[in-house]
Amino acid sequence: MEFQREGFTVITKGYDAFINHRGPDVKESIASEIYNCLQLMGYRPFLDQPELEAGDPIPSAIQNAINTSIVQISIFSPRYAESSWCLDELLLMLKTKVRFIPVFCDVKPSDLRYLHKGVYARAFADHKEKGRFSNERLQQWEEALKSSSLFCGYNFSTSNG
C-alpha cells in the first residue's frame, strides 16, 4: 500500500506475522528461529532486526507492522516485563484483535497471571519505583499480560535446547 504525505511517498508493508520479544533474551535463539522458519515456509514475518532499516522511524514502523500483520506472536521470557517497548507493543497487539499466539520461553502462563509474586514481580516493582509510567499504564500492562496467559500457545524451555 502506498500513500502520499507532505511530499513523501510512504509505503505501508503488510506482514504475515509480527514477532514481539525482548531482544537480549531471545533474539538470537527462538525469535530468530521463528522468523527463519516462517520465511522458509514463504511467509513474511516482521522481526525488528532485520526488517528495520537505517532511517526508518522505529515507533511508526513497529506500529505499522503490528497493524498490518495477520498473526501476532509474543515471546514471553523471564525479563520480558522489564521492557516498556515490549509491554506497549503487547497492548497494541491485543487491541488489533487478530490471531494472537503466545510463546512461553522459560516462563509459564501462570507467571503472567500472578505478577506480584512471580517472575515479573521485580520488573513491575521497578517500574513503580522509578515512577516513569502512570498507574493507569501499569494497570494496562498487567491486564494485557494476564489476558495473554489465557491464549493457547507454545511452551519453550532453553534448558531443553
Task: Write down the pLDDT at residue 19.
Answer: 94
Cα distances (Å, whole numbers) of residue 36 to 3, 16, 32, 140:
30, 13, 6, 32
Distance CA 34, CA 76 (A): 14
Catalytic residue among 2, 51, 82, 89: 89
Mean pLDDT of the chain: 86
SS3 content of the chain, % helix, strand, coil (to 5): 50, 20, 30
Q: In which residue are the cell numbers 498487567 written?
A: 142
Inter-residue contact 19 to 103 (CB < 8 Å): no
Instruction: Report the phi/psi class of residue 131: left, alpha or beta, with left for phi > 0 and alpha for psi in -120 to 50.
Output: left
Catalytic, 89? Answer yes
Domain residue extents for the chain: 2-108
- As separate numbers, helices (DSSP H) first and strands (DSSP E) second, the chain gives 8, 7
Distance CA 30, CA 74 (A): 11
Tens of pLDDT along 43-71?
Answer: 999 888 776 667 766 778 888 889 999 99
Distance CA 138, CA 127 (A): 8
* CATH of span 2-108: 3.40.50.10140
Q: What is the pTM (predicted TM-score) of this model?
A: 0.86
Is the pLDDT reported for residue 11 higher than 90? no
